[in-house]
Amino acid sequence: MIITAPRVIPALPGTGVLAPGYVQIEGGRITGAGQGPPPAAPDTELETGVLVPGLVDLQVNGYFGVEMQAAEPDGWAAVARRLPETGCTAFLPTFITAPLGQLTGALRSVASFSAGARPAAGRGARVLGVHLEGPFISPARRGAHNPDWIVPPEPGAVGELLAAGAGLVRLVTLAPEVDGGLAAVRQLAAAGVLASVGHSNATAAQVAAAAGAGARMVTHLFNAQPSIKSREPGVAGQALADPRLTSGLIVDTYHVSPANCALAFAAAPGRICLVTDAAACAGMPPGCYLLGGEPITLPPGDGVPPRRAGGGLAGSALRIDRAVANMVEVGAGLAAAVAAASRVPADLIGRPELGRLAPGAVADLVWLDDELRTAATWIDGERVYP
């Protein structure tokens, strides 16, 4: 199969935008991508918009009314089937802080029906594993997390969660400055799990020490972490300056100001990955939903995030394709914004066959219209949306 488009973005370093371009697919894999006329007559000719790799989201608490950490197999399959509507073809369901026994129970349940691939229902976004956002975080930077459920990252607790997930845990957000934090980073890295600094009150030196211990990510840059100060860069400053670290960024224009989003892209090119931090309310009408088993309210308004009863932000209602469009609106180049939602997160999670249009890569593709909203999505070369 050959698809042509007015613009194609392979999302590879140094490639930019191919205008016009084509992608060639065989057996669910990409066999070629280039600029200009295709090597044979195209099967599909896109007259407008841009063809990009499938988008990868490393932080999805829920979507379409489903909270991932409390969902049954049907709920997971429903979210996976519908996420391609947003351009997402691979994601990490995210569990926030909860009692340790509840988290281990949820992981055991998920491990029983998911092997880290697409659910049995098929035709949906790939489940890449699970992101544990907590419970090993700083009470001082807990955000929407329940302080009663925060625990220190003792080796036994970390090991219990990893064992319960049976290889499903791929990313853990924790505060490295708490007692046992650096040891936990080393334990996670040794287990092949991506450790991310987040919900943390760490100094820049403590973040650098975490990177030295094996941490490779910072969770939702600028949120639930100290502000940059003239003599203390803190989590955000170290994240932008340290080439070992890639930062997740919620570009809904509510969590982070447009100016700070532009600053992050300028300061750390190639080290920003767009995430939604979507809650169960994403893709749903205004109303009451759950995050971490506790109530949140989604107010009216396009892209307006949900909040806890006290008024604090509690996840988002963001689409990943909208995150790309927002990043372009604040000044990032289109190719860089697309890469930040495809190749960069795929590489960070250790899945180099995803997030790019290159020979050998999995044929996950998204057609974005001229407003950068998803018009069609292919997974394994099969059109799954609409």
Q: What are the residue numbers of the active site?
A: 277
Question: What is each CA distance from 161 to 72, 148, 151, 154, 180, in whole angstroms?
Answer: 19, 18, 13, 11, 16
> Tokens 């211990």 identify what position?
213
Give the burial string for 31-64 (b: 16+ CB within 10 Å, else e).
bebeeeebeeebebebeebbbbbbbbbbbbbbbb
Peptide bond into 20 cis (omega under 30): yes
How many other CB atoms are there within 10 angstroms of residue 13's CB atom? 11
78's CB contacts (< 8 A; 6+ apart) are 64, 66
The H helix count followed by the E strand count for the chain is 10, 21
181's CB contacts (< 8 A; 6+ apart) are 136, 153, 174, 175, 210
